[in-house]
Each structure stands twice: as C-alpha cells, then as structure tokens.
Chains A and B, each alone.
Chain A
Amino acid sequence: MEETLNKNIKTEISVKNLNLHYGEFHALKNITMDIPEHEITALIGPSGCGKSTFMKTLNRMNDLEQGVKIDGTVLLDGVDIYKTMDAIELRKRVGMVFQQPNPFPKSIFENVVYGPRINGIRNKEKLMEICERSLKQAAIWDELKDRLNKSALGLSGGQQQRLCIARTLAVEPEVILMDEPTSALDPISTGKIEELAMQLKKDYTIVIVTHNMQQATRISDNTAFFLLGEMVEYGKTDDVFANPKDERTERYITGRFG
C-alpha cells in the first residue's frame, strides 16, 4: 500500500510487521506502514480498533503498561527505536499530545519549559526565549503572555490543549503524535487546533488519531484505517475517502458501520 504515497517524500517513521499483544489479546496485527516527513497522517477507525495503541508504539508509551509484548520493527530516521534507541531519547524526538489536555499543576511558564529544564537548561533568559518561541508556535502567545506566572490549570480546555502543544514543541521534537487532541474541546477550540496542526506540519511530522472523519479529511495528507487491530487501508487522504479500495473502509467512512 506504500506505493500510493508520493515517492519523493522522505519517510520519517517506518513500521514493519508490527505485532502487539496485551497478555493474550492480539491488539495489533502485522502493521506495516511508512509515515512521511512533514505531512499529517491521520489514523481513523472505530473505538478499540488499535489506532491509539498503534500510536503509542511510536514513542514507546506502551512501555509504561504491564503485560505488553511488541515484535516487529519501528524505524525513526532509519534507526530501530526498540533495539538501538533509549526510550527517553526517543520521546524527546517524538512528542505527544493527549486526548485530555494535561497541563501540570504549575505556572504556564513552568509547563512550557518543563522539557528544556529536565534536559538541563537552567539559564533563565534562554528558558524565557524557548517559552516565547513555543507559545508563539502554538499560536497562544498573545493570549498568555501577560499571565505566564499564573497556574496553567486556570486556563480553558482549548487553551490548555494549545499550551500542551507548546510544551511538546519546547523540546523541539521531529514528530508530534496527537491522540484525539480535540475530542474534549468545543468546535471553536477544535478549529484552532486543526489550523495549528496544519501550520506545524511545515516543520514537524504529525500523526493524529481521530474519531472525526471530517477532521481527517480537513487536515490530513494521508489516512490509515484501522479495524480490529489490522490496518485495513492506507493511502493519500483524498484517495482513501474518494475511492476506498477495501469494502470495510467504504462502509466505515460512509457511516454504514455497526
């Protein structure tokens, strides 16, 4: 299926024959896909199809759970993230934005500079610079610049989510994983996040899990459809939605799915 993607674009993440078991449960079945650089790749599918689980294999967040067994390879820029890369190092390069905005109970400033701080940057001016750059990139600087020392928990859900994106950007990752980043937000905040994702793809590779098929068509370049742990179809978003090759994909995107 990779042949449907543009060959001129460099592959950022290459997944080959990936299988994941939760104890006895075979949650991901032989997934093979190439995720291209500086594009938005959407993962769609019904609840429990494995799309979020799959995304977590890309930054090894599954390591935190017990009873997870993974085989197959995931290459980031050609390097095997399970065999030759440290999980801590990997997560600095592959950032993640969660379904529920999860700012820390700290000030806005401390939230944004958390990543750089734990990486050893202590210089206050340098941190301030990173904070400003990240918040600007996340298009929330103007809203927050006068209240950097206020608690992040006092922000609205949409602001919190953009703050979490800024927090991820502050680490300067190469890839940003977004796990249904707008499912807890109102339509206006959702629009802002989508707009932001489209701006960010200039500099970052973005993988987004979404329940919302309109969202996938609005913002993504490529779409992968997951069902019962299998990747049923993967291709250019326009192709997948206009001419699905698999009957199951067609039934899902036309809403005729159980």
Chain B
Amino acid sequence: MIADQRTTMQKRVHNAQRMNRIMTVVFYCIGGFFLVLILVLAVYIIINGIRSIYPGVFGFDSDGIGNQFFNTVYLVFWSLLISVPIGVLAGIYMAEYAGDNKLTKFIRISIESLSSLPSIVVGLFGYLVFILYTGAKWNLMAGALAVSILSLPSITTTTEDAMRSLPKSYKAGSMALGATHWTTIHKVLLPACLPRIITGVILAAGRGFGEAAALLYTSGQSTRLNWSNWNITSKTCPLNPFRPGETLALHIWVMRTEGSLNAHSEEIANVCAMILVICVLLFSLAARMITKHVTRKQTGDNA
C-alpha cells in the first residue's frame, strides 16, 4: 500500500518537473522570438539606411531631411507641452480624487476608448476640428494637438497606476504631519512616482515621434523653412508652430507614394526610417536610464 502511494507520488513529482522544464523552454522560445524579430527589423532598417546615405541627405533643403527632423522634434515638443500637464493632472484626479461612482466609470471607459482609437481616426478628427473648423491651413500645431490626443490616455493611465502603486503609508505619513491633500500629492506622492511618469512620457514621445496617420491631414505634407527668418508670424519661420510641418514619418509616406517628385526618394525614405528607429531606441534607453537614476537617488541603493 505505502509503496504504491510512494510510486504515485514520485510519478506526480516527476510529471510536475517535466512540465516545469517544458514551460521554461516555451517561455525562452517566445522571448527569443521577439528578440530576434526586433533585432532583424532594426538591423535591416539601419543597414538599409546607412547604405542609402548620400551627400546632402541631412541638409535643410528639398533633398535633405533636416527640416523634417526638426519638425518632428518640434511637433513632439508641442504635443508633450499640451498632453503632459493635462495627462498628469488627469491621472492624479483618477488616483486621488475620483470617487467610486458612475462618473468615474464613465471617465475610465472614455480613457480606454481614447487609447484604442485608430490614429487615422484621430487624424481625421483633427482635420475636422483643428483645420476645417478653425478655418486654418495645415499646420504643425494641429498635428501636435492630434498627437496629444493619442498620447493623453497613456500618460493619464501611467500616472494613475504609478500613484496607486505607492505605499499607502506615504500619504498617511504626510497627512499625519499636518499636510493638506494637495501638499501631500505634490511634495510626496508625485515626486515618488516621478520615475514611472517620466518613463511613460518618454515612451509617449517615442510614439509621437513615429506617428504618421494622425498627421496626414493635420500637420501637412510639405515644409518650407527659411532658417534665416526668425519672424515668428512668418510661414517660413522654423519656430512658428502655425505653419505646415511635415515630419519624418510623413516624409517616408510622401517619398514612397509620390516618389517621382524627387530623384532620391527611395534613399530619403530609407534614411528617414533609420533615423526614426534609432531615435525610438534612444528614447527607450533614455527612459530606462532616467528611471534608474531617479530611483537610485530615492532609495539610496548606491550609498
């Protein structure tokens, strides 16, 4: 009897261990698959980009992509300027002020729907509201607003999750010292979840960097900048946000669809793709490094 039980027990342990090994291999395979996928894509795009470089490709005329690169950075800058304050404040509201009621549920559903909107829909919405409704021409600010709509939900959710994951004792400790709710939020809670918020913002910036569909009908598919013109109201002044501002991702689209306009169209598209991939990788790396740095400063791991 006892011997019998022992062998069934051994069998069970044996089976469990075998399953454990199988699953470990499965997970390694899945991980490896993604690693290979991203490496192949990135390496292919970068090599292709390097081989397409020709003199003047980084210049600021119609043969170069300098203007498009500047537009991309400038557009992301404006979109963050709009979406970060609103998104962070909305996240704080959801984590700290929103009650457990229908309004909160409605807001949450809205945020979730907003985050799953196809970017072309946001682009058309932007075209309707920021271009047709205001009677303006295609401009960089309209594009920045469209990209803000895309990044708002993720910044809001990141902020809310970061606030919620903080130990409850931070809030209790601060309140017990006679701090108000708002003082507690901006002196203790917000600084404590800064690393996660920064990561969220940088990743949102990365997505804005590569956005194309939302910009097709908002920021325009052309750019004409005069780098000696610093009259902010002028259509050719680089710093004027109310002028058409084609970005790198849009430039790829234009070069690939209306390539006959430029003798170097294919090379330009390849170089743009390379720059985009490198920038997005750099954004991810920067997010990780900043997070690590701030966390280390707070927890004193390096002490």
Chain B binds chain A: yes
**Contact A61 B187, beta carbon cutoff 8 Å:** no
**Contact A114 B298, beta carbon cutoff 8 Å:** no
Instruction: Judge if B257 is at the interface, Cβ distance under 8 Å.
Output: no
**Contact B177 A91, beta carbon cutoff 8 Å:** yes
**Contact B177 A171, beta carbon cutoff 8 Å:** yes
**Contact B179 A118, beta carbon cutoff 8 Å:** yes
Partner pick for A151 among B167, B187, B191, B303, CB 8 A cutoff: B303
The stretch that binds B, out of A92-100, A122-130, A199-207, A245-253, is A92-100
B55 to chain A, nearest CB (A): 52
Partner pick for B177 among A89, A105, A154, A168, CB 8 A cutoff: A168
Hey, what's the 0/1 contact readout for B155-181 against A, CB within 8 Å counting as 1?
A: 000000000000101111111111110
B298 to chain A, nearest CB (A): 4
List the A side residues contacting B258 at CB < 8 Å. Answer: none
What CA separation (Å) do A117 and B170 show in the bound complex?
Answer: 17
**Contact B187 A118, beta carbon cutoff 8 Å:** yes
List the A side residues contacting B32 at CB < 8 Å. Answer: none
List the A side residues contacting B172 at CB < 8 Å. Answer: 61, 64, 98, 102
With an 8 Å Cβ cutoff, the count of chain A residues facing the other chain is: 32
Hey, what's the 0/1 contact readout for B275-303 against A, CB within 8 Å counting as 1?
A: 00000000000000000000001111101
Instruction: Judge if B192 is at the interface, Cβ distance under 8 Å.
Output: yes
Q: Which residues in window 176-232 of B have CB below 8 A to A? A: 176-180, 183, 187-188, 191-192
**Contact B183 A118, beta carbon cutoff 8 Å:** yes
Partner pick for A114 among B187, B192, B300, CB 8 A cutoff: B187
Instruction: Judge if A214 is at the interface, Cβ distance under 8 Å.
Output: no
Give the A-B contact count at a CB cut-off of 8 A.
82
Partner pick for A118 among B173, B178, B191, CB 8 A cutoff: B178
**Contact B300 A61, beta carbon cutoff 8 Å:** no
**Contact A100 B301, beta carbon cutoff 8 Å:** no
List the A side residues contacting B301 at CB < 8 Å. Answer: 154
What CA separation (Å) do A147 and B301 show in the bound complex?
Answer: 14
Report which residue of B171, B178, B301 has the largest number of chain A beta carbons within 10 angstroms of its beta carbon: B178
Closest A residue to B195 by beta carbon equals A105
Q: Which residues in window 43-89 of A have CB below 8 A to B? A: 59, 61, 64, 88-89
Partner pick for B178 among A89, A98, A104, A153, CB 8 A cutoff: A89
List the B side residues contacting A61 at CB < 8 Å. Answer: 172, 175-176
Closest A residue to B295 by beta carbon equals A105
Partner pick for A153 among B174, B187, B298, CB 8 A cutoff: B298
List the B side residues contacting A153 at CB < 8 Å. Answer: 298-300
**Contact B173 A59, beta carbon cutoff 8 Å:** no
Hey, what's the 0/1 contact readout for A147-187 against B, CB within 8 Å counting as 1?
A: 10011111000000000100110010000000000000000
B174 to chain A, nearest CB (A): 7
List the B side residues contacting A218 at CB < 8 Å. Answer: none
List the A side residues contacting B176 at CB < 8 Å. Answer: 59, 61, 91, 95-96, 98, 168
A77 to chain B, nearest CB (A): 16
Hey, what's the 0/1 contact readout for A112-123 against B, CB within 8 Å counting as 1?
A: 001101110000
A90 to chain B, nearest CB (A): 8
B45 to chain A, nearest CB (A): 40
**Contact A92 B178, beta carbon cutoff 8 Å:** yes
**Contact B169 A100, beta carbon cutoff 8 Å:** yes
Partner pick for B170 among A102, A118, A151, A167, CB 8 A cutoff: A102
Closest A residue to B297 by beta carbon equals A151
List the A side residues contacting B178 at CB < 8 Å. Answer: 88-92, 115, 118-119, 171
What CA separation (Å) do A59 and B169 show in the bound complex?
Answer: 16
Partner pick for A154 among B169, B183, B303, CB 8 A cutoff: B303
List the A side residues contacting B174 at CB < 8 Å. Answer: 104, 114
List the A side residues contacting B191 at CB < 8 Å. Answer: 105-106
What CA separation (Å) do A21 and B218 show in the bound complex?
Answer: 57
**Contact B177 A167, beta carbon cutoff 8 Å:** yes
Report which residue of A64, A102, A152 has the largest number of chain B beta carbons within 10 angstroms of its beta carbon: A102
B178 to chain A, nearest CB (A): 4
Nearest 3 interchain pairs by C-beta? A151-B300, A154-B300, A102-B169
- Contacts A88-B179, A100-B169, A171-B177 known; list 9 others, CB within 8 Å: A92-B177, A95-B177, A102-B172, A102-B173, A103-B173, A106-B191, A114-B179, A115-B177, A150-B300
Binding site for B on A (CB under 8 A): 59, 61, 64, 88-92, 95-96, 98, 100, 102-106, 114-115, 117-119, 147, 150-154, 164, 167-168, 171
User: Could you write out 11 A-B pairs with CB less than 8 Å apart?
Assistant: A59-B176, A64-B172, A88-B180, A102-B169, A104-B170, A104-B192, A114-B179, A147-B303, A153-B299, A154-B300, A171-B178
